[in-house]
């Protein structure tokens, strides 16, 4: 392990347990490291595998007429400066020469004892450094110092102890190297055995402990690979092995187990959602049952999602049709009723902006045909503060703004939107407490999805956010015009809560960019359902608050689904917001308008509504 050491002695014997079954090693000269004074020690064979057993001191010539006093002063100075053995001017070679030429030289013997103590201390420091920084070369220094100490006083118990500690450190280093080699080759059982053997010798060895962590991580990676292939039973087996590596220290294994269980849940939920989409297609029951079989394969026994899906498939198979325009509510588990829903008729429409629309962006194109072969139900209004509050109380939910402690609100003093502390779903557009009948604001898309999932659990029906296509289809309600009411540049009276030129804020502000001549009587959010419904009985799709939909953001409609299903990529953060708002420009009130918003955003302009499969 002494790289760059100049050999100057005969070969030394190797340990029997290290030489058995091995071909004789050939000594090779090692290149000298420039500008570094290294010890001259006797080495042989593979320097990376054997403890140096002896040190040949540099020759110090002491003739009969030598000035021994001067030599002792020279040795004493070298000892003070820490030059212990490196060359003929170092302390150990001089004291050794003085002692050998005159065994009665008490001062030389005393200097030799003090030099031995200094060598032992230096070796202790080197071993400590090697334990914290194995790449520093400190172990090689410790080996060399141990060889020096052995030559100085082989019978000193401290020297024998040092030899044992150096041998143990060398052995631990060799075991760690073997473990790393097996780890690189994917031999995890072998690597684990090497690292454990190293720790049996030195329980606190950092590299061996890191090696155990690396084996654990490799096992976790294998588990993750199986989980990515939806082989969750195999993943559990690898995690069990990973958990045995470090026992109760393996917090990473517990995290991986939770992560993979969450992945299993997402996979089950994704298959469930795909099956529920299948049920919206004609003759889709067969495909849904195929997905159910896959859910049952990967889900844990008794998984309620699998049970719910089985029940839903059976339900849809024999469920009678609703009629278009029918308004209904579902019962919740506590006997109360869910939000009012209206059945949207099936049909087709041209989605997106036409090239003739001068206000259209590229994200709204190309206009394309979407058809719904089965109707769906959509809530008449945005989800209200009261409705969302029932979910929070029942589920014990902590929505995003509540956890974060702030949200974006309208500030009358500056006439702008600012982030304000203490604002969450219970707050209105200006941060003051909202009325129960107002649309709920300051919710992220995850909060909206959690509400829909809770409704599904409460009612046994499948609630979710509308797809982007469903939202625009319901907003247009059969009107192909630029705006939900047609192509006219000003909304008809009582159409909705938009930015009107006649609207005035509590402080006397007016909108810079508004529908000229229009006023709705509100600066801020209006109560849900305050304005007239559209042709299909739906309120406020075009205004009041913009709304989250289920889709991930895509920069255009190229390759968009033609069946109106959500265009969703698992894990996406950029989501879609649709529909105008009380603080949106006229261009944002167009039927085709869409906006990209991060999934964690909460603000005073965004709410949501839900749809339900039928």
The answer to whether the beta carbons of residues 353 and 409 sit under 8 Å apart is no
Query: Any idea which of 140-144, 304-308, 422-426, 548-552 has the lowest mean pLDDT?
Result: 140-144
For the segment 302-329, the average pLDDT, to the nearest whole number, is 78
Domain that holds residue 43: 16-180
Helix, strand, coil percent values for the chain (each to nearest 5): 45, 10, 45
Q: What is the pLDDT of residue 248?
A: 57
Q: What is the pLDDT of residue 475?
A: 98
pLDDT tens across 344-363, in order? 888 899 999 999 999 999 99
Burial 125-149 (b: 16+ CB within 10 A, else e): ebbebbbeebeebbbbbbbbbbbbb
Q: Give the CATH number of the domain where residue 511 resides.
A: 3.90.1580.10
Does 7 map to a domain?
no
Query: Any idea which of 5-19, 115-129, 384-398, 487-501 has the lowest mean pLDDT?
Result: 5-19
For the segment 416-443, the average pLDDT, to the nearest whole number, is 97
Burial 557-567 (b: 16+ CB within 10 A, else e): beebbeebbbb
Cα(527)–Cα(380) distance, integer angstroms: 13
Residue 225 has pLDDT above 70, yes or no: yes
Q: Which of 223, 315, 232 is nearest to 275 (CA)?
A: 315
Residue 387: partners with Cβ closer than 8 Å, 6 or more residues away: 338, 339, 440
251, 134: one domain: no
The answer to whether the beta carbons of residues 543 and 522 sit under 8 Å apart is no
Cα(80)–Cα(337) distance, integer angstroms: 90
pLDDT tens across 247-288, in order? 755 588 888 999 999 999 999 999 999 998 998 887 888 899
Does 578 map to a domain?
yes
pLDDT tens across 24-66, in order? 333 333 333 333 333 444 433 343 334 446 788 898 888 877 8
The answer to whether the beta carbons of residues 12 and 41 sit under 8 Å apart is no
Residue 23 has pLDDT above 60, yes or no: no
Does 436 map to a domain?
yes
For the segment 571-576, the average pLDDT, to the nearest whole number, is 94
Per the model's pLDDT, the better-predicted residue between 375 and 435 turns out to be 435
Sign of the CA dihedral running 595, 596, 599, 600: negative
Domain boundary pick from 285, 319, 353: 319
407, 525: one domain: yes
164, 234: one domain: no
pLDDT interval class at 2 (50, 70, 90): very low
pLDDT mean across residues, the chain: 87
DSSP state of 407: E
602, 496: one domain: yes
Does 388 map to a domain?
yes
pLDDT interval class at 181 (50, 70, 90): very high
Q: What is the pLDDT of residue 385?
A: 98
Q: What is the pLDDT of residue 167?
A: 86
Q: What is the pLDDT of residue 3?
A: 30
DSSP state of 10: -
Provide the total of helices (H) and of strands (E) in the chain, helices listed first.
16, 13
For the segment 425-432, the average pLDDT, to the nearest whole number, is 97
Does 215 map to a domain?
no
Cα(563)–Cα(308) distance, integer angstroms: 25
pLDDT tens across 498-519, in order? 999 999 999 999 999 999 999 9
Q: What is the pLDDT of residue 80?
A: 92
Domain boundary pick from 180, 200, 234: 180
Does 289 map to a domain?
yes
369, 297: one domain: no
373, 272: one domain: no
114, 37: one domain: yes
438, 530: one domain: yes
In percent, how much of the chain has pLDDT > 70? Answer: 90
35, 172: one domain: yes
Residue 537 has pLDDT above 90, yes or no: yes
275, 380: one domain: no
Does 536 map to a domain?
yes
Coil, strand or helix at 368: strand
Q: What is the pLDDT of residue 53?
A: 65
* Cis-peptide, bond into residue 366, ω within 30° of zero: yes
pLDDT tens across 64-117, in order? 778 889 888 998 998 999 999 889 899 889 888 888 888 998 998 898 889 989
Query: How many structural domains are present in the chain?
Result: 3
Q: Which of 14, 40, 16 is nearest to 26 (CA)?
A: 14
For the segment 388-410, the average pLDDT, to the nearest whole number, is 97
pLDDT tens across 449-465, in order? 999 999 999 999 999 99
373, 503: one domain: yes
Per the model's pLDDT, the better-predicted residue between 432 and 213 turns out to be 432
484, 598: one domain: yes
Per the model's pLDDT, the better-predicted residue between 112 and 389 turns out to be 389
Domain boundary pick from 151, 180, 209: 180
Beta bridge partners of 327: 342
For the segment 296-317, the average pLDDT, to the nearest whole number, is 85
Does 477 map to a domain?
yes
Residue 180 has pLDDT above 60, yes or no: yes
DSSP state of 84: -
Q: What is the pLDDT of residue 250?
A: 58
Q: What is the pLDDT of residue 153?
A: 85
């Amino acid at each position: 392990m002494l790289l760059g050491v100049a050999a100057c002695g005969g070969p030394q014997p190797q340990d029997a347990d290290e030489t058995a079954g091995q071909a004789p090693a050939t000594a090779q000269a090692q290149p000298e490291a420039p500008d570094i004074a290294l010890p001259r020690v006797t080495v042989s064979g593979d320097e990376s595998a054997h403890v140096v057993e002896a040190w040949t001191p540099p020759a110090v010539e002491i003739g009969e007429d030598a000035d021994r006093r001067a030599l002792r002063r020279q040795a004493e100075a070298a000892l003070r400066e820490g030059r212990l053995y490196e060359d003929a001017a170092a302390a150990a070679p001089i004291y050794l020469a003085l002692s050998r030429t005159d065994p009665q030289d008490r001062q030389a013997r005393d200097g030799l004892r003090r030099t031995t103590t200094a060598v032992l201390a230096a070796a202790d420091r080197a071993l400590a450094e090697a334990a914290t920084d194995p790449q520093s070369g400190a172990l090689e220094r410790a080996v060399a110092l141990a060889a020096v100490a052995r030559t100085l006083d082989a019978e000193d118990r401290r020297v024998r102890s040092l030899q044992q500690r150096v041998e143990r450190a060398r052995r631990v280093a060799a075991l760690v190297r073997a473990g790393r080699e097996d780890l690189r080759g994917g031999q995890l059982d072998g690597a684990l055995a090497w690292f454990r053997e190293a720790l049996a010798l030195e329980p606190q060895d950092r590299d061996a402990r890191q090696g155990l962590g690396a084996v654990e991580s490799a096992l976790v990676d294998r588990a993750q690979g199986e989980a990515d292939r939806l082989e969750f039973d195999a993943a559990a087996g690898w995690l069990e092995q990973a958990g045995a590596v470090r026992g109760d220290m393996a917090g990473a294994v517990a995290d991986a187990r939770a992560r993979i269980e969450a992945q299993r849940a997402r996979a089950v939920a994704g298959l469930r959602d795909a099956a529920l989409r299948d049920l919206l297609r004609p003759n889709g029951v067969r495909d849904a049952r195929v997905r159910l079989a896959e859910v049952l394969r990967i889900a844990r026994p008794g998984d309620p999602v699998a049970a719910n899906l089985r029940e839903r498939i059976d339900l849809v198979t024999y469920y009678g049709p609703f009629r278009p325009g029918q308004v209904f509510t579902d019962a919740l588990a506590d006997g109360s009723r869910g939000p009012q829903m209206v059945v949207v008729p099936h049909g087709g429409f041209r989605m997106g902006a036409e090239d003739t629309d001068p206000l259209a962006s590229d994200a709204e194109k190309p206009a394309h045909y979407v058809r719904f072969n089965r109707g769906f139900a959509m809530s008449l209004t945005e989800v209200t503060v009261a409705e969302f509050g029932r979910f929070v109380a029942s589920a014990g939910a902590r929505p995003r703004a509540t956890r974060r402690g702030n949200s974006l609100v309208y500030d009358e003093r500056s006439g702008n939107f600012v982030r304000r502390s203490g604002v969450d779903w219970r707050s209105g557009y200006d941060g003051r407490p909202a009325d129960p009948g107002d649309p709920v604001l300051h919710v992220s898309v995850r909060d909206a999805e959690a509400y829909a999932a809770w409704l599904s659990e409460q009612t046994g029906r499948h609630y979710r956010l509308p797809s982007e296509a469903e939202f625009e289809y319901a907003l247009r309600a059969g009107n192909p015009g630029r705006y939900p009411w047609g192509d006219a540049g000003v909304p008809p009276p009582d159409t909705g809560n938009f930015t009107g030129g006649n609207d005035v804020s509590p402080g006397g502000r007016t909108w810079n960019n508004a529908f000229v001549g229009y006023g709705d009587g509100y600066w801020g959010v209006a109560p849900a359902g305050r304005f007239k419904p559209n042709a299909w009985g739906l309120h406020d799709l075009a205004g009041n608050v913009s709304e989250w939909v289920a889709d991930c953001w895509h920069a255009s409609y190229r390759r968009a689904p033609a069946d109106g299903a959500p265009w969703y990529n698992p894990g996406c953060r950029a989501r879609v917001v649709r529909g105008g708002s009380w603080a949106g420009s006229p261009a944002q009130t167009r039927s085709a308008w869409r906006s990209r918003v991060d999934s964690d955003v909460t603000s005073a302009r965004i709410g949501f509504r839900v749809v339900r499969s039928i």
